[in-house]
Amino acid sequence: MRVAMLHNRYRTGQPSGENTVVAQTVDLLRNSGHEVDLYARDSDDIAGFSRKDRALLPFRSVWSFSAERDLTKLLQAQRPDVVHVHNTFPLFSASVLRAAHRLGLPIVATLHNFRLLCANAVLQRDGRPCESCLGKLPLPAVRHGCYRDSRVQTLPLALSIGVHNTVHTWQRYVDTFVVPSAFVAERYVAAGFDPERFVVKPHAVPDPGAVRHGAGEAVVFLGRLSEDKGFADLLEAWDSRLGRLVVIGDGPLRAAAEERARLDPSIEVLGQLPWADGMAQLRSARAAVVPARSYETFGLVVVEAFAHGVPVVASRLGALAELVDDGETGALTAPGDPEALRKAIGLVADPETSIAFGGRARQAYLERFTPERDVAATERIYTDAIARHSASGRARTGV
């Protein structure tokens, strides 16, 4: 099968699970014998734009005629069996959908976030879940300056959401929407999208081979040190009687973490680490903790922990509640509740419990999140999208 893959890469230095997922999908498909033409644009390129092009960028992010024209030429030359769209913001825009549609090509779109519904793409405001714009014109987003705390920068995004959802651009052109969790599908359906076109396909992570032995050592937090990730709740919840806490990552609360570590030797702040070093820390963990206060569309660190045979304590919120089986592969706790978080960590950090939960976490990884299962699911999605596209074409022509 020949696949055209489209993705607007995020800026260098901005951690992006989407960039990782797209690169992994391309590699998996190619290694399985498929031809993949990757059409990528880089947000880093914006820095080299002329003043005029930078001024026009907000409008081109709504609809880019140049991107549509360029993609039409590429697709005409390659004639893929299916077009798989990932991030289109800001250099592609939804115009690429029309390019593929006019050539009669089936379109699959992976929705990694809530970009089609929410100006900041994560359904949150002030570090908390927010659905004020769900299924509506996103005027609250402009009022609150939800994108980069700027009303000016939010306006073109809100315009794009309003225009495309009013004329149903994505619903009209896309045959199959792929989402990493049922939670994401539910939010889109609540906003008016057709539930029949959604397929839930969790992200995969490579099998590390080496897994944890025994009960592990420290409780590990790996992520952005910020309010929305629940890191302040973790600091408040932490008690040295729970053992050791290893903090990996960076963010606005790093200074607070380092100050706390100076007073409490049970806390160690390692900062941002190379991926391999972070995984080594995770592999030796007693438990991983993901105390998010805002919605998560997936939770890659949860699956990475499971792959290493490490249980997870997570908030009962968004996709996290789908990933962690409470009392089996870890524990779920109410978001924003440090006392409940402390009790959950204490439960999972018990050595015997950690070993039992960790074994089931590893089994959950093998059953749901391996690359082999991912590529097989992707192939089925493509086959079904091609069949759906063909059937819809026959319906339009009366065949």
Domains of the chain: 2-110+168-204+371-397 (3.40.50.2000), 219-368 (3.40.50.2000)
pLDDT, tens digit, for every residue of 360-387?
Answer: 999 999 999 999 999 999 999 999 999 9
pLDDT score recorded for residue 56: 85
Specify the residue for token string 């968004």: 318
Q: Contact at 8 Å (CB) between 97 and 171?
A: no
Query: Cα torsion for 16, 21, 26, 30, to the nearest 10°?
Result: 140
**Average pLDDT value over all residues in the chain:** 95
| DSSP β-ladder status, 312-315 and 287-290 | parallel
pTM of model > 0.95: no
pLDDT, tens digit, for every residue of 332-357?
Answer: 999 999 999 999 999 999 999 999 99
pLDDT score recorded for residue 397: 43
Looking at residues 96-101, what average pLDDT do you find?
97
Q: What value, to the nearest 5°, has the Cα angle with vertex 128 and ends 124 and 131?
A: 45
pLDDT, tens digit, for every residue of 253-284?
Answer: 999 999 999 999 999 999 999 999 999 999 99
pLDDT score recorded for residue 339: 98
Low-confidence winner among 9-13, 90-94, 144-148, 287-291 (lowest mean pLDDT): 9-13
pLDDT score recorded for residue 14: 61
pLDDT score recorded for residue 398: 46
Closest CA to 99 of 223, 2, 6, 28: 6
For 35, 81, 129, 185, 196, the CA distances from 390, given in Å and listed in that order, are: 21, 12, 39, 24, 16
- Pair of tokens at residue 319: 């996709």
- Pair of tokens at residue 69: 């024209």
pLDDT score recorded for residue 12: 78
Band of residue 314 on the pLDDT scale cut at 50, 70, 90:
very high
Q: Contact at 8 Å (CB) between 345 and 219?
A: yes
pLDDT score recorded for residue 399: 37
Rounded CA-CA distance 329/363 in Å is 9
For 201, 218, 315, 344, 372, the CA distances from 332, given in Å and listed in that order, are: 22, 19, 5, 7, 28
Q: b/e string for 12-34 if b means 16 or more Cβ within 10 A?
A: eeeebbbbebbebbbebbeeeeb
Residue 396 has pLDDT above 70, yes or no: no
Strand-pair partners of 221:
247
pLDDT score recorded for residue 55: 86
Band of residue 13 on the pLDDT scale cut at 50, 70, 90:
low
Residue 113 has pLDDT above 70, yes or no: yes
